[in-house]
Structures are given as structure tokens and as C-alpha cells.
Structure 1
Amino acid sequence: MSLARRATSADAAELVRLRRQVMLDSYHGPDTDTGRHPAAVTTLRERLTDPDGDLAAFAPDLRSRGHSRSCVEALLGRYRTRDVRVIDPHASPDGEALYTSLGFARTPDPSMRLRFPGPLRS
């Protein structure tokens, strides 16, 4: 059973907060400027409303060990069904081990990369 569910527009504020806390703060240190948050929440809310849009985010249903893995695996499943071939996440240092365990490799840029093998759909 997956601990992740597809994020909805109601999750936008929490996703923006988590992105800042988990990813951006880990690179640059704490940032107290939240002036961009309302616009980011509005944009994310609009993009998450379209179920066939080009943005998918997943959120944990439960706070438990393994929820990050569950969310990333759910995203990878969605990418496979949409014939996405290359994924370049900008993993935080704390998240790098998870991505490595799922087949991602470090690139020269501050990102990692996963390439899915040839035709994904039958």
C-alpha cells in the first residue's frame, strides 16, 4: 500500500512550505523572506487543479518512515505512464541517498539524473 496520494490544490501552501524548508533552506540556510510564497501558492494551486496538466506532486497520507520514498515512487510511476524519459531532480544533500537508491546518478550540475529505458507504453 502506497503512503502517497496525488496532491490537490488544497496541498499547495504546504508543498510550497516544504519545498522551502527541505530543499532551499538546506542549500542556502534559513530564509525569512516569505514575500514570494503567496504567488507560488497561487500558481501551484492553479497547476494542481488540472488532472491532465504537466505538473504532478504527491503528498504523504501519513507521517511515517518511508513517506518520501513513497512520494518519489508515485511520481516515477506517473512519469512512466506519460513517457517521460529523463528526470533531473535537484536533491538536497539529505535526499540524495533516496534518489541514488532509486537509480538516479549524480550529474556535473547540482542535480541528479534518471533515464528510463526505451518505449514505456505498450
Structure 2
Amino acid sequence: MIDAVFAADPPIAWHGESLPTLRAKLGEQEGDFTAFVVDHPDRPGALACLVAGTIDYRIGKPGDPHGMVGFVFSVATDPDARRRGYARACMTTLLAWFRERDARRVQLTASPEAEPLYVSLGFRPKPDPLLELTL
């Protein structure tokens, strides 16, 4: 499901390398990372949908004194399971998780196809001249 996001025939060696860290992060009861999934109704053992998010600390500011910011970094739905409300259900649960941890802002990047879902959940486009450096 996640591989569908990338180009055809992507290298997948990173999957195995990422699993120990992923398992450790998911095992932290009060951690800053979580994921929510829906099992595929037609394929036992497969996922229909998943969302994953994390909370980062930023220096507090007016209206957000604790500086907790949620970030949704993965939303994926199996192509066979789209248009059934799974992504909305997972996102609603993730947003509740952010609220429970005092994140007053949640950020994500959206594909054009998914943007209507996020707008319906209250997300608004924000011009942000983000720069990134890969180390």
C-alpha cells in the first residue's frame, strides 16, 4: 500500500531497516508517535488504511503556550478500499490523539486527491516557505 506512493519498482531494502525503530516507537505508551489502522474487510491480514503521526515540540507562543505541534506524515488507503470512509475514521482518531496530548496545531501535506478530505476535517492551506536540508 505505501509502495504505491512511490515510483514503479522502488527499492524496498529500507523496510527491514526501519522496522526495529518503528516497533520501538509504537511500543511507547506515552510516546510522541502513533499509528491507526483499519483491517482490510476482504483480505485477512492486510490493511485497508493506515495513518501515522507524531508530535513535535516548538517554542510556545500566544495561543499555543505548550508548543506541541502534530504532524500527519502518512495516510495510505489500499486502492481496493477507497471511498469507504476508512481514511476519515483513522484521521478522526489521530486528531483525537493529538488533542489528548495538547497539540493545538496539526500539519500535513496533501495530494490534490486527498485535499477535500482534509479540508472537510478543518485543515486550511497555509503558505509556508518551508526549506529542507537532507543530511
Q: How does 1:11-90 map to 2 (within 5 A)?
A: 18-21=1-4, 24-25=5-6, 29-30=7-8, 32-63=10-41, 65-90=84-109
Match of 1:15 in 2: none
Q: Which has the higher strand share?
A: 2
Identity of aligned residues (%): 38
The Cα offsets for residues 7-46 of structure 1, whole Å up to 9 and x where unpaired, read as xxxxxxxxxxx4443xx42xxx335111211122221111
Once the two structures are TM-superposed, the CA of residue 67 in structure 1 deviates from its matched residue by 0.6
4+ residue runs over 3 A deviation: 61-64
- The structure where helix makes up a greater share of residues is 1
TM-score, length of structure 1 as denominator length: 0.62
* Relative contact order, higher structure (CA 8 A, sep 6+): 1
Matched with 2:111 is: 92
Rg comparison, structure with higher value: 2
In the superposition, the TM-score normalised over structure 2's length comes to 0.56
The SS at the match of 1:60 is strand
Q: How many residues align?
A: 89
- Quote the RMSD (CA, aligned, Å): 2.4
Partner amino acid, structure 2, of 1:80: R
- The Cα shift of 1:90 comes to 1.9
